[in-house]
Amino acid sequence: HNPANLVGVRAFMKNLPNTPMIGVFDTAFHQSMKEESYIYALPYEWYTKYGVRKYGFHGTSHRFINKTISEFMKRDDLKVISCHIGSGASLAAIDSGKVVDTSMGFTPTPGVVMGTRAGDFDVSILPYVMKKENKNIDEIMNDVNKKSGLLGISGISSDARDIAAAVEEGNERGILAYNIYTQKVANYIAMYNNLLDGADVICFTAGLGEMSRPFRKGIIEKISSLGVKLDSQRNEDVFGKFGKISTDDSKIPVYVVPTDEELMIALDTYDLIN
């Protein structure tokens, strides 16, 4: 994203030279992670020499979700699992406003399955397929980032709406993509619940989180061992708006919280220039 963003930055610097310029980074909120969360089990010198570590992304969104649900529940000590699941997807485990861990890493490629990104996988696959397909590193990384995920599995689309339709039609690869996606997100929720020693709330946001009833249903059904229960009627009623979708006796309440990254950027800009 940076080259495209810099075009805009340079245009504003040229045309509005005396206007304060503020950079708001998607990695900023995740800077509260401890070393055990952001250091990879790779040669430590890669971190000290080249900055190889987990940075995480969607931080502006995760921060907005945490702020919104904390204000709603009138608590500043909440343990939140924030699920930003859209074409790009990441989860964050947040304790009292600080990120404990997040699913994206050095780049936005790892973590859960996404629209066209692979998420976590065995990196040794890359040189193996490069030799088989006679591809260079740029070509293979393009495959991992733009031809994988829901699109790669299904062969249909990167759009969750198309996948949900394929599931209804009984398309085998569509069903496979749906099952893999929902399972990977559920796995991260379970892991982060353990990391937080029991979450207080789970929040869904972004395209799928706010508007895909079938994907929310599939994810919640796969974390029933945590005592999480979906209220089917609430799940149907909540579409693109704030609302609870779990039952009242669910061990962990689940909310849909529409994100507003633009508002967070505006607020940060206002605070910094003042």
**Per-residue pLDDT tens digits for 78-92:** 999 999 999 999 999
Q: Which residue has the higher pLDDT, 147 or 2?
A: 147
Buried (b) or exposed (e) across 248-269, using 16+ Cβ within 10 A?
eebebbbbbbbbbbeebbeebe
Token reading at 180: 């893999």
The answer to whether the CB of 61 falls within 8 A of the CB of 205 is: yes
Give pLDDT, residue 227: 97
Catalytic residue among 26, 95, 101, 231: 26
pLDDT band at 21 (very low <50, low <70, confident <90, very high): confident
CA 133 → CA 45, 89, 260, distances in Å?
32, 28, 42
Give pLDDT, residue 243: 98
Residue corresponding to tokens 């085998």:
172
Q: How far is residue 9's CA from residue 229's CA, in Å, rounded to a whole number?
A: 46
Give pLDDT, residue 274: 87
In the chain, what percentage of residues exceed pLDDT 90?
95
Give pLDDT, residue 192: 98
Give pLDDT, residue 167: 96
Token reading at 254: 């689940």
pLDDT band at 2 (very low <50, low <70, confident <90, very high): confident
The answer to whether the CB of 94 falls within 8 A of the CB of 33 is: no
pLDDT band at 23 (very low <50, low <70, confident <90, very high): confident
Token reading at 156: 């249909």
Mean pLDDT of 260-271: 93
Question: What tens digit of pLDDT does each residue of 92-132 get?
Answer: 999 999 999 999 999 999 999 999 999 999 999 999 999 99
Give pLDDT, residue 1: 76
Measured in degrees and rounded to the nearest 5, phi and psi for residue 3 equal -55, -45
Of the candidates 33, 73, 67, the residue with the CA atom closest to the CA atom of residue 53: 33
Give pLDDT, residue 214: 96
26 annotated active-site? yes
Q: How far is residue 97's CA from residue 67's CA, in Å, rounded to a whole number?
A: 8
The per-residue pLDDT of the chain, averaged, comes to 96
